Amino acid sequence: MSLILRVFAAILLGITLAGCATAKQKQQKAAVEQRIDKIVKLNTELAAAYLQRGQLDIAMQNISKALALAPNDAGANNVMALLQWQLKEHKEADIYFNKALKASPKDAIGRSKNSKVHNNYGAFLCEQGHVNKAVEQFRLALADPLYATPAQANLNAGLCLMKKPAPLDAEVYFRAALGLDPKLPDALYQMAKISYDTGRTYSARGFIQRYFEVGEDTPQSLLLAVKIEDALGYKDAEASYAVRLKGKFPGSSEAKRLQGLSLKRN
């Protein structure tokens, strides 16, 4: 073999060996990244579980581990935001919600497509009194056709608008929520309340009856039922709800208001 051929063969061998080394390094890197992703996901899931149980210290340990490995992970930042919210560290919670949104996949015009984070952030903003900003977050959550729980986002938007108060705007969201989940107790109660307050008493009766089929007795719901039946003149039904209210919640302010209702009628 000539000198030129030997040199050319050596070059080819070197390229082949370099290619093999590069491919192996890529495989090793991918394996490491995959393992890190699994650890991050596991710690994030554990943190969320402990957060739900109220074990905030253990939740903090797990989510801190996740963020140490992946500071820009959307899921981990979302859980840290929820944890900071629970700890009443509101500035920190806001920062982590925004980090989660920044790290999330984007749509064609650059908006985050992480509906879960939008819904959570909306609930947080609503609690802080930022109703318009909160509703915008719920709208962004609902803009994703693949969002798993749109009924909840509609309900949250409606509940937030009731704080304004903007009951007629809220009604749009409550109806949307019930269109997706006809047995959503909070939406049924709110529709009963809005209907009663706006003079649609028979509609209110239908909604409160549907509420009691799926929801628990509360002082608020029972007093509303008493008012509705009183307005319609159904005395037996009114008395039945009144007995339930006084029997289950005798010390409640709603039970005490029953006497006021009786005095007004007399």
CATH number at residue 194: 1.25.40.10
φ, ψ for residue 106, nearest 5 deg: -115, 155
Q: What is the extent of the structural domain holding 228? A: 186-266
Residue whose C-alpha is closest to residue 196's, from 182, 211, 183: 211
Considering the domain boundaries, does residue 149 fall inside one? no
- Is 14 a domain residue? no
130 domain-assigned: no
160 belongs to a structural domain: no
Give burial (CB, 10 Å; 0-12/13-18/19+) of 224: buried
Backbone angles phi, psi at 112, to 5 degrees: -65, 140
pLDDT tens digit at each of 266 positions of the chain: 565 666 566 666 666 666 666 766 666 666 666 787 888 899 999 999 999 999 999 999 999 999 998 899 999 999 999 999 999 999 999 999 999 999 887 665 556 678 999 999 999 999 999 999 999 999 999 988 888 899 999 999 999 999 999 999 999 999 999 999 999 999 999 999 999 999 999 999 999 999 999 999 999 999 999 999 999 999 999 999 999 999 999 999 999 888 766 545 54
Q: Spell out the residues 6+ positions from residue 74 whose beta carbon is closer than 8 angstroms to its own.
A: 100, 101, 103, 104, 114, 117
Helix, strand and coil in the chain, % to nearest 5 = 80, 0, 20
Q: How many structural domains are present in the chain? A: 1
Distances (CA, A) of 98 to 13, 68, 87, 112, 240: 51, 18, 18, 10, 50
